[in-house]
Structure 1
Amino acid sequence: PGVRARHRGRPRRRPSKLHADKAYDHRRCRRECRTRGITPRIARRGIESSARLGRHRWVVERTFAWLARFRRLTVRYERRADLHLALTTLACAVICLRQIRRFCSWLLSITPG
């Protein structure tokens, strides 16, 4: 179900599952997730390996690493939110352009011609 918001725009959705590492292995964290109707997938300390959670978290960690290459975004020097948003948008556009170039060069290398 949608989360009630006072803001206009697309309604926010509550996630069905939460993937977390061993740092969040605590009864309180699991209880809070369940009270909100979210299924916790938290690796247990000393019992489970967090390798199973890795494939879901890898996408987020990789994206943060790509953004961290832009040093101006790693440490926020801009005081104005609009400037920070503009630089973040520009960094995302550059990342997308690099990925498209990489994919197109890979695609051209495998096509017969």
Structure 2
Amino acid sequence: MSLIVTGANVNDGKRLDEVLGAIMVKRPNPPHRRSKHLCADAGYRSAECLRIIDEHDYIPHVVDRRKEADLKRRDPNKKARRWVVEVCHSWFNRFRKLLVRYEKLEHSFVALNHLAAAIIAFRKVPLSVNIIYG
């Protein structure tokens, strides 16, 4: 997972190379190319974005909502890949301080986002003991 901060008026596709280059924990090279997937929305369907995704050795899954709905209608057992992206946005939006940016300094805002990501990941770890109540 990586995170960069840009202005609200900057198109996401323009910063794709920067986002993919900012990945903190590098994965070991998988034995098969099939294990590196990138789910994105229709904003990343341009030829330039697909070229950048391919340069970073990811398999792009860039499907618009209509086509995904048609595929789901054909095979109801398939899960939508967009769900992964949308639920991640939802998890970050639960942190009210991040939903509306009050921080003036960029490094403070990035640090709060990293803290939120750590909390989200920690909540996903199954524990046998409730750490809050002992």
- Give the TM-score taking structure 1 as reference length: 0.51
Q: Is 2:47 the counterpart of 1:33? A: yes
CA RMSD of aligned residues (A): 4.1
Q: Which has the higher helix share?
A: 1
Q: 1:49 aligns with which of 49, 69, 72?
A: 69
Which of structures 1 and 2 has the bigger CA Rg?
Answer: 1
Q: CA deviation at 1:55?
A: 1.6
Residue 44 of structure 1: how far off its partner (Å)? 7.8
- Number of aligned residue pairs: 87
- AA aligned to 1:93 is A
Q: Is the 8 A contact 2:38 2:61 kept in 1?
A: yes
* Percent of aligned pairs sharing the same letter: 30
Contact in 2 for aligned 1:67/1:91 (Cα 8 Å): yes
Which amino acid in the other structure matches residue 61 of structure 1?
E
Q: Residue 121 of structure 2 corresponds to which residue in structure 1?
A: 96
Structure 2 unaligned runs (5+)?
Answer: 1-16, 24-35, 55-59, 73-77, 129-134
Q: Summarize the Cα distance change of 1:70–1:50 in structure 2 as closer, same or farther, 3 Å threshold.
A: farther
- With over 3 angstroms needed to count, the CA separation of the structure-2 counterparts of 1:64 and 1:20, relative to structure 1, is closer
Decide whether the 8 Å contact of 2:39 with 2:61 is kept in 1.
Answer: yes
How do 1:49-88 and structure 2 match up within 5 A? Answer: 49=69, 52=72, 55-88=80-113
2: distance between equivalents of 1:98 and 1:79? 28
* Change over 3 Å in CA distance of 1:35–1:71 after alignment to 2: closer
Q: TM-score, normalised by structure 2?
A: 0.44
Alpha-carbon distance in structure 1 between the residues aligned to 2:119 and 2:49: 40
Point out where structure 1 has 5 or more consecutive residues left out of the alignment.
106-113
Q: How has the CA–CA distance of structure 1 residues 80 and 33 changed in structure 2, closer, same or farther, with 3 Å as cutoff?
A: same
